[in-house]
Amino acid sequence: MALPLPEETLLEMYWTMLLSRRLDERAWALHRQGKIAFHISAIGHEAAQVGAAYAIRRGYDWVAPYYRDLTLMLALGYTPREFMLNLMGKKGDPSSGGRQMPSHWSLKRANVISHSAPVATQTSHAAGIGLAIKLRGEDKVVITSVGEGSTSQGEWYEGVNWAAVHKLPVVFIIVNNLYAISVRQELQMAVANAADKALGLGLPGVSVDGMDFLTMYQVMKEAVDRARSGDGPTIVEARVYRITPHSSDDDDRSYRSREEVEQFKQRDPLLIARRTLEGEGVLTPQKHEALEQRAKELVDEAVRFGESAPYPDPEEAAYPVYAEDVQNA
Amino acid sequence: MALPLPEETLLEMYWTMLLSRRLDERAWALHRQGKIAFHISAIGHEAAQVGAAYAIRRGYDWVAPYYRDLTLMLALGYTPREFMLNLMGKKGDPSSGGRQMPSHWSLKRANVISHSAPVATQTSHAAGIGLAIKLRGEDKVVITSVGEGSTSQGEWYEGVNWAAVHKLPVVFIIVNNLYAISVRQELQMAVANAADKALGLGLPGVSVDGMDFLTMYQVMKEAVDRARSGDGPTIVEARVYRITPHSSDDDDRSYRSREEVEQFKQRDPLLIARRTLEGEGVLTPQKHEALEQRAKELVDEAVRFGESAPYPDPEEAAYPVYAEDVQNA
Amino acid sequence: MPEATLIEAIRQAMDEELARDERVFIVGEDVGKRGGVFRATQGLYEKYGPQRVIDAPLAELSIVGVGIGAALYGMRPICEIQFADFIHPAFNQIVNEAAKMCYRSNGEWTVPLVIRAPYGGGIGGGLYHSQSVEAFFTHVPGLKVVIPSNPADAKGLLKAAVRDPNPVLYFEPKKGYRLIKGEIPAGEYLVPLGKANVSRPGRDLTLITYGMTHYYALKAAQIVATEGIETEIIDLRTLLPIDKETLLQSVKKTGKVLIAHEDNLTGGYGAEIAAILADQAFTDLDAPIKRLAGPDVPAVPFSHPMQDWFMPNAEKIAAAIRQLAAF
Amino acid sequence: MPEATLIEAIRQAMDEELARDERVFIVGEDVGKRGGVFRATQGLYEKYGPQRVIDAPLAELSIVGVGIGAALYGMRPICEIQFADFIHPAFNQIVNEAAKMCYRSNGEWTVPLVIRAPYGGGIGGGLYHSQSVEAFFTHVPGLKVVIPSNPADAKGLLKAAVRDPNPVLYFEPKKGYRLIKGEIPAGEYLVPLGKANVSRPGRDLTLITYGMTHYYALKAAQIVATEGIETEIIDLRTLLPIDKETLLQSVKKTGKVLIAHEDNLTGGYGAEIAAILADQAFTDLDAPIKRLAGPDVPAVPFSHPMQDWFMPNAEKIAAAIRQLAAF
Ligand SMILES: Cc1ncc(C[n+]2csc(CCOP(=O)(O)OP(=O)(O)O)c2C)c(N)n1
Ligand SMILES: Cc1ncc(C[n+]2csc(CCOP(=O)(O)OP(=O)(O)O)c2C)c(N)n1
Ligand SMILES: [Mg+2]
Ligand SMILES: [Mg+2]
């Protein structure tokens, strides 16, 4: 297989996935220890996210993510320390200064817009950014993601429709992990693949194995190039699996079997990536071990940093309601 | 051509279209005379509506219409007198007792539910009726209609999606007259045919010449049969043209050429129906003349009836806000 | 009388209504196998099956829209909105459709529908899992709006809501789901919609409240009672239609009014109560009408110190009582 | 100073802002070739082209959502909702997104967006072309809500709204589009948001109102003036944030308050004004705070006699003034 990216980049992608996984696992541990109140996980989704991130010009293109996009965020320069501030609701959390729940991202320096919890509302924001890019005649692209369940929302449909009608430079990622909390895909949609929704909206739709970071990267790259060259939007469905419960508030045993979960763990995106990269001689067990070591150190350090960081002052909650009140500018 | 329905029924369908046209024309005249405040027209849409009406078991199946469905309503037993009460906002208007604008239908005796002005809200109502029919194990069917522009609403998408997921006995009619007021189809959707939206929702979609009542009838009949037999919903796109301005408040000269309108008048659904029926020997010029005569009499009588009918008392406006206040039951 | 938590009371009400009337069904996200994210419908899917307890697509407007359609056909749907914060996509269906159906059809069509949604903060839910949304709907004629404050009312009001021929919004104080316990009268138990409850009699001032804030209010009244201030508390229970009678009677007696709710102040439900009293009880008033409400920020923040800053509690209410009593 | 109608003033404001700032664009249904169903954007499509005056799909939530996205990117969109009655599908985008963006991102992202919508009845529009919707939004911190009552304000407020860094809802009294005429100061003319206007001074009572009802209020004040009653009228202009200062000053002087709006009474905007005054002006008040508002029915009916029954007018307001003045 001809590698589509330089070795260094591939290693960076692998590193990002690994770091994401270790941060995510630590978050679950912190939750068990009662040190954080909530976590919503990206475990199983890492390959799809890193594939998407490396298909855009990071820091130049725009991103409208959703709550599972930890790996994507790390690829855009979000740091482990920042994630810990976010998890713990500490001062300096760049997403919201502790106002939003964890994993409700925003990172202005990386062109990541703020999203909310009501699902799919970011879809029309992405279309609007695409419209602005087009009106200004720029060559930027915007990518946006939602879960497959969220495509049941009229919010999603209307946003994609705008981009299709106006041929806007947007890539709409549908992260299909088969479940919306407990509700399976069959109760959300009557099409076999979420990507088939593209057929009704008049844009290309591709369904891809989102457990394989290189496949995801390649499909995303095509879609992003297409958007950048003015040919319009694409829907990319990344087929993944959520290996953990929906969130730290969930208990998934009521709605799916342990066998099913175990089966999908065989296709863990980190294992697949490691196998590919080792097969290509890009990664060695030694290199992997070194990365693990570095991840552990970074995560440990980030936790210490987060724990010693102060909480916001209560009175910070009073602003900024209006742009006039902004005090962090 | 083998006629799909008894001659008598075909004549009835033709009669309904003719009566609808003459009532509609009279409404425009009444508006010009300052006798009514508002009219929204079905002219050009008659064939699609009569085709749909005769495909269901009228009075048994359920209907969630939209404001252009005058012909459909007449086929369901709505009377010229009732239409005049409705146009004039007089007491006894069966849709709303003068509360709603004209052509916002409701006719409980014919299983026609009340619809509002915000477009496409009736789509999920139709899905809900379909769900109720299915839950009760009945063999009824519900049909519902919207314009092609209204399919841009998330409201429409979500309602159809429900029916597709649960295989509900619903037929979703999209009346494509190319315009939503002034906005052409190309600015509403990126698909060539509105029926293509079915591809993204996982149900069959058929695009049909809605200017030909027999074609419309046959396609609707299939879709209704399919729904009744438990095989699920269908989208039927009726390609028509709105020969009049959008409503009595509209001036269509700013957004479409007179040539275009003239061209479509050549395909007037009444002319097509008359040609077909005369060709088959079902209709003769004499019979046609008699129908015209009867229509004129009926319309004249209805106008007189409407004009002499009283307005609602002002205080009627105070109720019924809640079911407890219902005074007409 | 057995003790139950608030959420058990709600579950009981649904269970009994499902058993009583086969037109009743539940529709919402994760209400089936999962039993609801707060477990309000736990066990009902197993008991009544997927035709009576329906896992909906993740799409609130159609959850309500489908409910309306089914109600028009003669069913009695209970729609669950997973969090009140997610009722906004269904606003058009609730306000333009459900609320106006009876009026616009001159009574030919009615919408016997219940929409349940957990509301309120203090549970670390941040901006989008903490909202109070009642004021958007108490402005809408054609809707009924109910908020229970204790298990007995929760059960009796929900059962009455299911039987009501109108669209009823039923907001549940989620922070109280397991926190608030109480006895529930045995057997068939209904609490009529539209009737407020004087949950604590008192002579010095009238404290008007509902839902979770009522829980704090009771505690606050206990605190100030030790200081000799006797607070009369009115638990509204039904916010629309408003039980003006009960309010006016109490104010006639006390002459002082404090209105408390968690939702933000400006344009909140308390404004209407204040406005009614400033008109109809003007001559009975001995002091300015006071409101204690959430601050005018977009929603409850996540981080604990900021959440605490936002939330009402017994101490804040006690302070407001003292100030008003001293007027 | 040239005279203009209300709608001409609105068009002028958009024309000037489009010319001044290339980040400004208009998006809505039929705003292009058709020039808007009320002709508010007439000529602008021809002048600025389809990139600056965009005919949107028939889908309000995405009209607002796309506007928000473009605003985040640095544009200054003006979104037109064809009738205020159709703003409901966009409720989630307005309340959960636009209003909360600045707060939830701790100020990193702001939404400089204007949403224009014609509101109000008396034009034979029935339940869905007559609604007043301001009270849904004046409850939402993070939004600004503006309603002009005359051409000069309409122009100056709209231009200020376009330049405001926040989401601004700008509701236009459609019955007054051609009915209300007035002079507009020449040259660049801005009216600051957040400032009410004492449009008629008087000593006997304060009449607080806005928009179309202000038009009737002026006439009512003229009628009762001939009977010796001097009404002070406050035209709010900006409903959120509220200019409390101006209100309190006036009530200090007159001691009596009548609040008038077309929207239905319960939970309407007037409730908040009454509540503020019942607290902060309590000792200044010589009479109950009165509200004259639309009746509590779901919306304005179509048929003339019923529409008249619903609508406020100069006579109804004059009657309320007389009654209050006599207290
Ligand atoms: C409008 C809205 N309704 C309900 C919820 C509650 N909720 C949070 S996540 C979720 C499931 C989302 O499923 P999916 O879109 O498939 O994404 P996934 O979590 O599987 O990645 C639900 C129902 C919400 N956040 N927003
Ligand atoms: C939610 C909503 N937005 C806007 C309108 C105003 N409006 C009334 S009809 C119409 C055009 C509808 O076009 P289409 O759906 O194609 O139906 P047609 O009138 O062409 O039959 C519009 C924009 C409305 N009624 N509802
Ligand atoms: Mg999912
Ligand atoms: Mg059309």
The C-alpha atoms of residue C177 and residue A318 are separated, in whole angstroms, by 28
Whether the per-residue pLDDT at A329 is higher than 50: the answer is no
- A157, A255, A267, A294: the catalytic one is A255
Q: Where are chain A's structural domains?
A: 7-303
Question: What are the residues whose beta carbons fall under 8 Å from the beta carbon of D101, sequence distance 6 or more?
Answer: A114, D68, D72, D109, D110, D111, D142, D167
Q: Which chain B residues are Cβ-neighbours of A199 within 8 angstroms?
A: 196, 199-200
pLDDT of residue C2: 78
- Residue C247 and residue C209 in contact, taking contact as beta carbons nearer than 8 Å: no
Tell me which CATH code domain A7-303 carries.
Answer: 3.40.50.970
Question: What are the residues whose beta carbons fall under 8 Å from the beta carbon of D168, sequence distance 6 or more?
Answer: D113, D114, D115, D143, D144, D145, D146, D161, D193
Q: Is the CB of B210 under 6 A from ligand 2?
A: no
Whether the per-residue pLDDT at C223 is higher than 70: the answer is yes
- The mean pLDDT value of chain D amounts to 98
Q: Give the confidence band of A32 by pLDDT, cuts at 50, 70, 90.
A: very high
Q: Which chain C residues are Cβ-neighbours of B161 within 8 angstroms?
A: 57, 59, 62
Mean pLDDT of B207-225: 98
D271 in contact with C, Cβ within 8 Å: yes
The C-alpha atoms of residue C282 and residue C278 are separated, in whole angstroms, by 5
Q: Is the CB of B244 under 6 A from ligand 2?
A: no
CA D224, distance to chain mean position in Å, is 26
Over residues C247-258, the pLDDT tens digits come to: 999 999 999 999
pTM of the entire predicted model: 0.98
The C-alpha atoms of residue A43 and residue B274 are separated, in whole angstroms, by 66
Question: What are the residues whose beta carbons fall under 8 Å from the beta carbon of D72, sequence distance 6 or more?
Answer: A113, A125, A128, A129, D101, D109, D111
Whether the per-residue pLDDT at B235 is higher than 70: the answer is yes
Question: What are the residues whose beta carbons fall under 8 Å from the beta carbon of C110, sequence distance 6 or more?
Answer: B323, B326, C71, C101, C102, C165, C166
Q: Give the confidence band of B3 by pLDDT, cuts at 50, 70, 90.
A: confident
Encoding tokens for residue A103?
């994993």
- A22, A104, A115, A242: the catalytic one is A242
In 3D space, the residue among D37, D62, D31, D69 whose CA is nearest the CA of residue D49 turns out to be D31
Tell me which CATH code domain C197-325 carries.
Answer: 3.40.50.920
The C-alpha atoms of residue D214 and residue D250 are separated, in whole angstroms, by 17
The C-alpha atoms of residue B210 and residue B269 are separated, in whole angstroms, by 8
C103 in contact with A, Cβ within 8 Å: no
The C-alpha atoms of residue C211 and residue C217 are separated, in whole angstroms, by 10
Q: Give the confidence band of D2 by pLDDT, cuts at 50, 70, 90.
A: confident
Q: Give the confidence band of C7 by pLDDT, cuts at 50, 70, 90.
A: very high
Q: Ligand 2 centroid vs B183 CA: distance in angstroms?
A: 10
- Residue D189 and residue D155 in contact, taking contact as beta carbons nearer than 8 Å: yes
Give me the phi and psi of C272, to 5 degrees please: -65, -40
pLDDT of residue A1: 61
The C-alpha atoms of residue D66 and residue D56 are separated, in whole angstroms, by 10
Over residues B87-126, the pLDDT tens digits come to: 999 999 999 999 999 999 999 999 999 999 999 999 999 9
- The mean pLDDT value of chain B amounts to 97
Q: Ligand 1 centroid vs D217 CA: distance in angstroms?
A: 49
Over residues D260-302, the pLDDT tens digits come to: 999 999 999 999 999 999 999 999 999 999 999 999 999 999 9
Q: Do domains D3-183 and D197-325 have the same CATH topology?
A: yes
Q: Give the confidence band of A75 by pLDDT, cuts at 50, 70, 90.
A: very high
Determine whether the interchain pair A188/C57 forms a contact, defined as Cβ–Cβ distance below 8 Å.
Answer: yes
Over residues C289-302, the pLDDT tens digits come to: 999 999 999 999 99
Q: Give the confidence band of A328 by pLDDT, cuts at 50, 70, 90.
A: low
Over residues D218-275, the pLDDT tens digits come to: 999 999 999 999 999 999 999 999 999 999 999 999 999 999 999 999 999 999 999 9
Mutation to probe ligand 1, out of A49, A71, A100, A119 (largest number of atoms < 8 A from CB): A119
Over residues C137-186, the pLDDT tens digits come to: 999 999 999 999 999 999 999 999 999 999 999 999 999 999 999 999 98
B246 is catalytic: yes
Q: Give the confidence band of B2 by pLDDT, cuts at 50, 70, 90.
A: confident
Over residues A211-261, the pLDDT tens digits come to: 999 999 999 999 999 999 999 999 999 999 999 999 999 999 999 999 999
Q: Where are chain D's structural domains?
A: 3-183, 197-325
- Mutation target for C interface from B62, B99, B114: give the one with most C CBs within 10 A: B114
Q: Is the CB of B120 under 6 A from ligand 2?
A: no
Over residues B148-188, the pLDDT tens digits come to: 999 999 999 999 999 999 999 999 999 999 999 999 999 99
Q: Which chain D residues are Cβ-neighbours of C296 within 8 angstroms?
A: 141
pLDDT of residue B136: 98
Mean pLDDT of B302-313: 98
Residue where the block lists tokens 């200054």: D76
C3-183 is classed in which CATH architecture? 3-Layer(aba) Sandwich (3.40)
Strand C197-200 to strand C231-235: parallel, antiparallel, or no bridges (unpaired)? antiparallel
Q: What is the ipTM of this complex?
A: 0.98
Whether the per-residue pLDDT at C93 is higher than 80: the answer is yes
Whether the per-residue pLDDT at B20 is higher than 70: the answer is yes
Considering chain C, what percentage of its residues have pLDDT values greater than 90? 99
pLDDT of residue A270: 98
The nearest alpha carbon in chain B to C59 belongs to B158
In 3D space, the residue among D141, B322, B319 whose CA is nearest the CA of residue C135 turns out to be D141
A149 in contact with C, Cβ within 8 Å: yes
- Mutation target for D interface from C100, C133, C272: give the one with most D CBs within 10 A: C272
Q: Using CB atoms, pick whichever of C62, C72, C75 lies closest to residue B159.
A: C62
